[in-house]
Amino acid sequence: MTISKHTIIIFTYLFVFNGEIHSNDLMTDEKNKIDNIRNLNFTGLFSDQKHSVVALASALQLYTCANGCSALHETVELSSKSGAKIMGTKDLVSEFFKEFSAGNIDAAFKMVSEDASWWVPGNLPFSGTKTKAEYLQIVGNIQNGFPDGLKLTVKSMIAEGDMVAVEVVSDGKHVNGRTYANEYHFLITVRGGQIVAVKEYMDTLHLYQLIQP
């Protein structure tokens, strides 16, 4: 089992020193959240792995936010024999695009919350705010339009708090023979280890021209 240094710090704060953090270090709301985390039962770490992992991740997120959210983008991983794994925001987003580009749509969208929202700009047939189920239908059309796959390559990424800004470029050949090489900016919100909201900015004219007869 591997536990990050941030998790060790949390154990120190919450259990060795009983989570005594001065009021000038945290806003009242964050202090209340820390108090709630302190009351969680971590003793089941080995007997009840699923809940312990979630609790540890929650505590880590609160700790990093209390310190300016400066470490939320770093990898947070707790692995065991059964392969439980929780990733930081940037790592989760990177993994999503990796799985999507490999054609592993089910694996990619397991990282997306069931009640997530997905927004696409413009006046295209699939523009507007979509539910996860509605966007998966769009993804199905994408797969039909790109039988050899569509790669979305991350060029750069910035994380702040629970939000990740990502520059992405696409590469794929449409069934009509045209090459699709768009440039994207995704603004992604991650909470509880899942993607909960996406804003997908792109060159809508390029996409419009691609799908014209």
Per-residue pLDDT reduced to its tens digit, 101-144: 999 999 999 999 999 999 999 999 899 999 999 999 999 999 99
Q: Which residue has the tokens 């990050």?
A: 4
As a whole-number percent, the residues of the chain with pLDDT over 90 amount to 56
Q: Tell me the C-alpha distance between 205 and 195, whole Å.
A: 27
- Report the pLDDT value the prediction gives residue 88, as an integer from 0 to 100: 87
- Is the pLDDT at 182 greater than 50, yes or no? yes
- Report the pLDDT value the prediction gives residue 32, as an integer from 0 to 100: 52
- Is the pLDDT at 145 greater than 80, yes or no? yes
Is residue 53 a contact partner of residue 61, using CB atoms and an 8 Å limit? no
Q: Tell me the C-alpha distance between 211 and 94, whole Å.
A: 27
User: For 37-56, what is each residue's pLDDT tens digit?
Assistant: 444 444 444 344 444 444 45
- Report the pLDDT value the prediction gives residue 180, as an integer from 0 to 100: 96
Residue among 69, 41, 66, 68 nearest 55 (CA): 41
Distances in whole angstroms, Cα of residue 137 to Cα of each of 13, 110, 186, 206, 209 = 46, 15, 19, 21, 21
Q: What is the mean pLDDT of residues 149-178?
A: 97
Chain centroid, CA 97 distance in Å = 10
Q: Which residues contact 9 (CB under 8 A, 6 or more apart)?
A: 63
- Is the pLDDT at 31 greater than 80, yes or no? no
User: For 56-71, what is each residue's pLDDT tens digit?
Assistant: 555 555 444 544 444 3
- Is the pLDDT at 19 greater than 70, yes or no? no
Q: Which of 29-38, 120-129, 155-164, 198-207 has the lowest mean pLDDT?
A: 29-38
- Is the pLDDT at 13 greater than 60, yes or no? no
- Report the pLDDT value the prediction gives residue 61, as an integer from 0 to 100: 52
Dihedral, 186, 190, 195, 198 alpha carbons, nearest 10: -30
